[in-house]
Chains A and B, each alone.
Chain A
Amino acid sequence: MPMTMKPRQRVDLMLSFNLVITISLCYVAILFMVAFLAERRATMGNATWLYSPLIYTLSLSIYCTAWTFYGAVGYAARSGLEFATIYLGPTLVMIGWWWILRKLVRIGRAHRITSIADLVSSRFGKSTTLGMIVTLISVVAATPYIALQLQSVTLSFSVFAQSNGQVWHQADLNATAMWVAMGLVVFTVLFGTRNLDANERHHGIVMAIAVEAVVKLLALLAVGVFVVWGIAGGPTEMLARIDNSSITLWDHNGGRWISLLFLSAAAFICLPRMFQVLVVENADERHLAIASWAFPGYLLLMSLFVVPIAVIGLDLLPTGSNPDLFVLTIPLSEGQNGLAMLSFLGGFSSATSMVMVATIALATMVSNHIVVPIWLSMRPNQQAVISGDIRHVILLARRLSIAGVLFLGFIYYRLSGGGAALAAIGLVSFSGAVQILPAMLGGIFWRGATRIGAAAGLSVGLVLWLWTLFLPSFGADAVISQAVFDHGPFGWTWLRPQALFGIGGLDPLVHGIFWSMLLNTGTFLVGSLVSFPKPLERLQGAQFVNVFEHSAAAPAWTNAAAGAEDLLIMAQRIMGSTDAQAIFEREATRQGKKGYLPEVTPAFVELLERELAGSVGAATAHAMVGQLIGGSGVSVEDLIAVADEAAQILEYSSRLEAKSNEQEQTARALRDANAKLTALSIQKDAFLSQISHELRTPMTSIRSFSDILRDGEMTDAEQKRYSGIIHDEAIRLTRLLDDLLDLSVLENGQVMLNEQSGSLSELLDRAIGAAGLLNSDLVILRAPEVANVTIKTDLDRLVQVFINLIANARKYCDARHPRLRISVHDRGSHYYIDFVDNGSGIAFDNQQLIFEKFSRLSDGAKAGGAGLGLAICREIMRRLGGDITYLPGQYGTAFRLRLPKKRVPHALAQT
């Protein structure tokens, strides 16, 4: 045993060894009490404070083991500031919680993850093999670490014994280690396996480690304060002492600095015990936000006095003293027995809390991923699941696993004979756990990661770690002979454990981490790229990677052929009858049924499997359910069907959206049409009342004058005048009816056009002749170019328009010397023929109105027209393929005719 330290003998102030034993037993009793009370409070239901972020943060402190408590000082004495990397790595992970921890916690809650092995196994298609590999790595990596804790407790006992004058032999140490191990087994079994659901929190244990977290922090701070203020005399003096000490604070080994930062950061999330407290025991995601700074703060305080203690210890204690025990030996040598006792309890706390959580985590993994799968595979189908008491089997397996893990640690302790520097084993253990990192991170961030890739990467990592770090850690000629160290196995020099591929000269730790992580990650990536995942892997991969998006989840079971009763029996055997019945009853109620037996839908099977996974892990739960269901798991087609369904829903919804847009457009069109119809209807009514009025006026005078004529007794002159009036009125009536008929024919498109060629000038002559200008003083001015224009269209109809316009000018032009100017413009395909008089024009508001039927501005009676003229003109012009518009801004009433040189086809088609 390497303890060569000889504390100063101050017999008068010595603690008796028995007192130390008594105090530590009392301390253990207090822990029992605390755990027991917390457990009872929790069952009574009033334990909300157990879920506080403070308790969560303190429970994370199991990261600081006895290796931290004692070993950090030794580490600092040997390598200076490098010790801080072990705490800076976790600090980086915690302050970067948004990246990884948040996702892990969310996945852990959503999938009821029980351990890191369960996470990897569940992600890669609930693979039993992967669960086994991860469990194996974890157990192998953790065993030396547990041995380390036993050793530190034993060593600290022996320090007291020696300071008491006793000389301890190896046998005494072994016996102590055994007693400590057994005590831990009892405590852990008692509080760690109360309930089978590993996903539930272990209140007793968590509370106990929270108390221990406070004790170890206080102890280390107390020693630190004593050293800085009690021995050195203040911070300034302390810094001066550090400057003068022989410790190499910074040795510029960049490779080790970065490697250790990475190693501790990765180990912080990969160590099974850290995963247990970080993810499994996490009660609320929001606690992470607080722990993200509180836990780094805890680590800072734990590290704050490490260098001072190391410096003072080197100064104060005789050369050759074990720096790993300075925390204990400095107070002892200074006669501070109370402080020494507190320090001892701090170390004891560090060791025990770590061992408890580590064994719970490992035991869960061993029982869920090794024992139960083997037990299941030994039973014939179905029978395993519904007969035989699974609950007890699993609980027993877990208890035995706890004992087994501690026993392994104890064996390792015995075999290694106490080991050399504590820190060296700790780092080797870390680098073993870190081999899980690529599979875990790849699994939660990359959907393409596959089971085959993960298994290959993990295996390569495990083998390389064993070869380059674990086996060499026993020393030359212990497991690997010196010859192999020098020349490689079978003389293959490229396989030398500390100089792989012939690259020697590296720090062994950096060398081991570099090659194992590089090849592990590389194999994982390549393996994932070239392999094809099973449907369940793809399903789980999508759910893990997209855990924050509540995407449509595919059911893991498609055809639930099992009877509800079989499932209930199985669930009862795992969860206990109360819990199982509660789940079944809840589901039955949800389905609207009475009793305990719901319809076995795929969704229910999935829910049940998830509940079971909280107890036995995803892989085992899946296998058990699969045995009952008959293996009708999800297939690629199902996955694609789900994707299709989602796509269809998406498409359907976008189609609906398009359709609703369309309907809106239709509705708008309908509204417009309706408005037009309403307007038309109003127009029609107005038209009818107009026309009856227009017809009645001449009819009335015809009737009254014909009455007078019938009565006779009048002069010839009168008779002549009256019959003249009747004649005029009859003509007016006929003209009105002709116009109406004309308009109706034009509007219905029934008009036959008679196309001819003619000179515009001649047409105008005809029009002027017919317009009745004889008694009028209207002067018509024709622009000279009018004479040269030849038009090819229905000339008679065009003349009708001209007559109308000229007659209008004659009737309505109110100038003293009325003039009508007619001009023509050649605009390519059209002629524009303008009729502009020098009247007062038409107000803007009325410019559109004048083309409507029966529209007469002011008093139309004077003109004697029915107001159909312009309406007929417009219809004619449209039939001819042109148009008539009012031309504003001409200092008079102006109309413009637009006449195509050639009639456009659509106008022809309408004929």
Chain B
Amino acid sequence: MSLGPKSKIFLEQAGYRQRRVRDAVRLLPLLGIVLLSIPLLWPRLEPPEAYSSGALVYIFGVWVALIAISAFLSRTMHADDDEAAPKGGSDA
């Protein structure tokens, strides 16, 4: 009898894929931050009103992409996995 389940080092393919999906979920906000910081690199225009609707389209495009990726990932991920057991109960 050992305390707690020993975490496995190597997993079968399905478990491996799940781990990578979780990694992707973790990384997604970083991708969002990077993409949303890109506008800071845009050239400065004179006058500033000259920025066309392209800026608007970029921001909303990034937004849609993030939502789509997040939806894909959350559907790919099995919620009731070892790490994400939802039934914690009141004893934890």
Contacts and interface: CB of A to CB of B under 8 A. Distances in A.
Interface of A: 80-81, 84, 88, 91-99, 102, 106, 109-112, 239-240, 242-243, 246-252, 254, 257-258, 261, 284-286, 289-290, 292-294, 296-297, 300, 304, 307, 543, 547-552, 607, 610-611, 646, 649-650, 653, 656-657
B13 interface: no
Nearest to B69: A95
Nearest to A262: B33
Given A242-B53, A653-B3, A257 B39 contact: yes
A289 B2 contact: no
B3 to A, nearest CB: 6
A524 to B, nearest CB: 23
A424 B46 CA distance: 27
B52 A98 contact: no
Contacts of B88: 106, 109-110, 285
B52 to A, nearest CB: 5
B92 A106 contact: yes
B67 A300 contact: yes
Interface string B11-50: 0000000000010011011001100110110101000110
A265 to B, nearest CB: 9
A242 B26 contact: no
A646 B88 CA distance: 22
Contact of A257 (B40, B64, B90): B40
Contacts of A547: 92
Nearest to B72: A293
Contacts of B66: 91, 95, 296
Chain A CB within 10 Å — which of B25, B57, B83 has the most? B25
A95 B28 contact: yes
A88 B74 CA distance: 19
Given A250-B48, A286-B79, 13 more contacts: A84-B59, A84-B63, A88-B36, A109-B92, A242-B56, A249-B52, A252-B40, A252-B42, A285-B86, A294-B71, A296-B70, A646-B3, A649-B3
Contacts of A96: 25-26, 28-29, 32
Given A91-B66, A548-B83, A653 B1 contact: yes
B37 A300 contact: no
A720 to B, nearest CB: 87
A292 B70 contact: yes
Contacts of A284: 86
Contacts of A548: 83
B9 interface: no
A297 B67 contact: yes
Nearest to B43: A252
Contact of A88 (B52, B63, B79): B63
Interface of B: 1-4, 22, 25-26, 28-29, 32-33, 36-37, 39-40, 42, 44, 48-49, 51-53, 55-57, 59-60, 63-64, 66-71, 74, 77, 79-80, 83-84, 86, 88, 90-92
B25 to A, nearest CB: 5
5 tightest A-B contacts by CB? A96-B29, A110-B92, A293-B71, A293-B70, A286-B79
A611 B74 CA distance: 33
Contacts of A112: 90
Contacts of B51: 80, 248-250
Contacts of B48: 248, 250-252
Contacts of A607: 90
30 contacts: A91-B67, A92-B32, A92-B33, A92-B36, A95-B66, A96-B32, A106-B88, A109-B92, A110-B92, A239-B53, A243-B53, A246-B49, A249-B53, A249-B56, A250-B39, A258-B37, A284-B86, A286-B79, A286-B80, A289-B74, A289-B79, A290-B74, A293-B67, A293-B68, A296-B66, A304-B60, A307-B56, A552-B3, A649-B3, A657-B2
Nearest to B44: A252
A97 B73 CA distance: 12
Nearest to B92: A110
A263 to B, nearest CB: 14
Chain B CB within 10 Å — which of A246, A293, A607, A646 has the most? A293
B86 A286 contact: yes
A284 B84 CA distance: 11
A98 B25 contact: yes
A249 B47 CA distance: 11
A240 B53 CA distance: 8
A88 B26 CA distance: 17
A286 B83 CA distance: 12
Nearest to A550: B92
A610 B60 CA distance: 45
